Chain A
Amino acid sequence: MNTIERRQFLKSMGIAGGGVLLASSPWFSAFADEIKTVGSKARIGIIGPGSRGQHLMSFLVKNPKVEIVAVCDVFQPSVDEALKMTPKAKVYTDYKKLLEDKNVDAVVIATPLHKHYHMVMDAFDAGKHVFCEKSIAYSMAETHSIYQKYKASNRVFFVGQQRLFDPRYIKAVEMVHSGELGEISGIRNFWHRNSDWRREIPNNATDKQINWRLYKDCSRGIMTELACHQLQIGTWAMQEIPNKVMGHGAITFWKEKREVYDNASCIYMFENGVKMNFDSVLSNKFYGLEEQILCSKGTIEPEKSKYYFEEIPAAPAFLQMINDFENAIFGTLPFAGTSWVPETANSNEGQYILDEKSIGDGTSLMLAAFAESVISGKQPPKIAEESYYATQLSLLGHQAMEEEKMLVFPDKFKIDYLNHKSIGKII
């Protein structure tokens, strides 16, 4: 997506160029200098160009402001695939050597979770800007150290929480913050699949290299791979960090060669008693995934891109007019007809959050924002903090399941964000 297309798209959603977008999604300030940065390039090194890394690269190579100058992996097939996209990139097998490369401004880290910590810390030490795939790290202590390192680094730090850039989610949260759906009463997140997550192992690889998500010492499973995305929606919508969590996890169906849960439930509690649930079952995919934000006047389902009012729905024609208001459009209201009767509205099918067809899941915009930030050297507000708590809440939920206890968010891992205050200064 180029600059003009991006601007046009955001404008068509009614969230570009105004205070509304920046109020609910301040990280979009990354695009503030995008006209000035035309002609500049963010020189990026990819650490871990496996399947996820290649997916990220597929967006980066289309961005004229990005040059992928290096790739690093010990697994040659991944390097070969990466070079098909970026043939001129320098190849490394040791990420520390890549970090020494003066031609690299920033790194994209898409390695297994347990490898993030040292790579991110070393990258900041080497003066690089960092984009790290979610979750940030394997433990709460590591995640906290990374955040402290970032704050002291004067470098840009992004995490792969792409919902922060997904137009459906941006608009959904904007609607919640506007109050038009009333007060948030609860948040129900679920992410169900019917698969064991197992990938085929090539001849020259080990199971752990490929299926690291299934090993306890590499991953926290469902929580760090799935919940991380959804819990972030809760804090974004509530503008608050939940203080307690309890949960239970088990291996119930996929019992072979698996160390992480395939069945997990957590309940997070906010100060006012509102609860955020997370449920995941990996042996049934009927309900798929969704983040249901339950409000006193309506419900919003950003993944479906729909919202539903509790009583009669708003008239689409009138809502369209409200949306057109900012764009100075003198539109027609197409509603005249014979009497509307409630019998015709027995099923509440909801309204679409966006009129426009969505342009993907936000990954493209997120990476474009990262490139802009690398070039400008400016960290957009709140994006690191939203990502920080997405990881920490996932990890705390995992710990609650492991210990089968209700856990309070530890003071030592609090940072200055929303209702949390850090207990110490960053060195």
Chain B
Amino acid sequence: MQYTHKSINGSSLFYAWFQAMHTRIDVLMYANHSEIILISIAKKIKIEIERLEKLANRFNQNSELSQLNSNAFEKSMPLSNELYQIIEECIQYKDTTLGFFDITVNSANNFTEGISNINLDKVNQTIRFLHPDVQLDLSGFIKGYALREIKQILLNANIKDALVNIGNSSVLAIGNHPHGKGWKINSNQKDISKECELHNQCLTTSGNTNNTKWPIQKPMTRKVIENYPMLSVITEDPATGEVLSKALYTANKKEKLEILNHLKGQIIHFN
């Protein structure tokens, strides 16, 4: 983790950045805290993100999620309380997004019936896959979930003004910029008319570009979406933003409206 700190008139502007979740993380805090305290908060955030990577990174063979993907068809797998709740929440989004958000979208052999082939046992807190091709992928959710956790860390540390960026696509804004109300965010193009203001909200962006390593697919057809402009949503809850941006990206106009009836969010088009 690297950081820079500037102090003026007793207030600190602290910025830390590091690499995690296969992307960059930027943490900006404006507070009356000392530099040492702010460093410790930033470290706590980094530790939390690394913890979530160990929990839900499907590419890490030792992660809890990878263990499920390897073994849950053969036998019921016990789940940590946290992973159980994450999977349970994600399964619910399948309905509220009309099937456009699906954590089994990367199942083997283009299998499209993943969600209905999961047996989640609430009493024993276990999971069992009912089809050998089922695979869970939480990468479309975990950044938002991480921001939800980070928000709690910041509030617990009495940080009232902060901006946290995970890979430019997931942004959490708390409180205010040192010299204004809320936080003004734009896409890379410096066109003021396209900027949006965040007031204790999140901005989540989805889209397939040439640099996208794992492109977004339409879950029902497993078809990779091409030539769609990127889409951003403003939500109060970062995890909801993550779900919405993925779902809305592949949905048509009518489907978008219906999804937005279930999940609260505002669409932003930067380009």
Contacts and interface: CB of A to CB of B under 8 A. Distances in A.
Tell me if chain B binds chain A.
yes
Contact of B211 (A297, A325, A344): A344
Nearest to A297: B2
Contacts of A318: 15, 17, 26, 28, 165
A338 B205 contact: yes
B209 A340 contact: no
Contacts, number: 130
A180 B2 CA distance: 8
B187 A336 contact: yes
Looking at A312, A318, A330, A333, which has the most chain B CB atoms within 10 Å of its CB?
A: A333
Contacts of A324: 179
Contacts of A23: none
B262 interface: no
B75 interface: no
A337 B177 CA distance: 20
Contacts of B185: 332-336
B23 A314 contact: no
B15 A312 contact: no
Interface string A140-164: 0000000000000000000000000
Interface in A313-335: 314-315, 318-319, 321-322, 324-326, 328-335
Interface stretch (B125-133, B167-175, B252-260): B167-175
A330 B179 contact: yes
Given A311-B2, A325-B13, A334-B188, A342 B19 contact: yes
A154 to B, nearest CB: 38
Interface in A296-315: 297-298, 309-312, 314-315
A309 B205 contact: no
B186 A334 contact: yes
Contact of B171 (A297, A330, A336, A343): A336
A20 to B, nearest CB: 9
A427 interface: no
Nearest to A329: B179
The 7 closest A-B CB pairs, nearest first, are A330-B180, A332-B184, A334-B186, A180-B4, A330-B179, A339-B169, A339-B167
Interface of B: 2-6, 8, 13, 15, 17-19, 22-24, 26, 28, 163, 165, 167-169, 171, 177-180, 183-190, 192, 195, 203, 205-209, 211-213, 230, 232, 270
Given A311-B19, A334-B185, A341-B213, 7 more contacts: A310-B2, A315-B24, A325-B178, A330-B180, A337-B169, A340-B168, A341-B23
